[in-house]
Amino acid sequence: MKKVMLMGLLAVGAMAVLLGTNQAALAPKYTIKEVMKKGFAGKGSLHAKVALGTATAEEKALFAELLVSLYEDPAPRGEQKSWEGKVEAIQKAAKDGNGKALQAAANCKACHDAHKGK
């Protein structure tokens, strides 16, 4: 009986460790605000450079990394599925180097209207 209890405790402990590391691995690297500031806001933003085809390889890589976090970040408002769909469209256009599609997919107002909290 004692042995069973001990095994149980060990199992719970191992689960806690596993869950802990999983959460750390899953937590997005950048918050939405950070992604907006680094990738979308202002003149000459990363998103504009990628759309215009003037981004360097590093800038493209950073933009792609920001989008991974954006996809993983919980939408402040609206359906998470809709959020993921919007981010996926941006990711696809950026990956294809399709500037027109990127400008259309990264529609600031459409996304803010649907998903930005008050």
Q: Residues interacting with ligand HEC, by CB under 6 A?
A: 32-33, 36-37, 40-41, 47, 76, 86-87, 106, 108, 111-112, 115-117
Closer CB to ligand HEC, 22 or 31, in the complex: 31
- Measured from the CB atom, is 32 or 50 closer to ligand HEC? 32
Minimum CB separation from ligand HEC for residue 45, in Å? 7
Closer Cβ to ligand HEC, 12 or 52, answer by number: 52
Between CA 60 and CA 109 the distance in angstroms is 23
Least distance between ligand HEC and beta carbon 112 (Å): 5
**Measured from the CB of residue 23, what is the shortest distance to ligand HEC in angstroms?**
20
CA distance 28 to 70: 8
CB 101 within 8 A of CB 93: yes
Q: In Å, how far are 12, 22, 92 from 111, measured between CA atoms?
A: 42, 29, 16
* CA 108 vs CA 14, 15, 51, 116: distances in Å: 44, 41, 14, 10
- Shortest distance, CB of residue 39 to ligand HEC, whole angstroms? 9
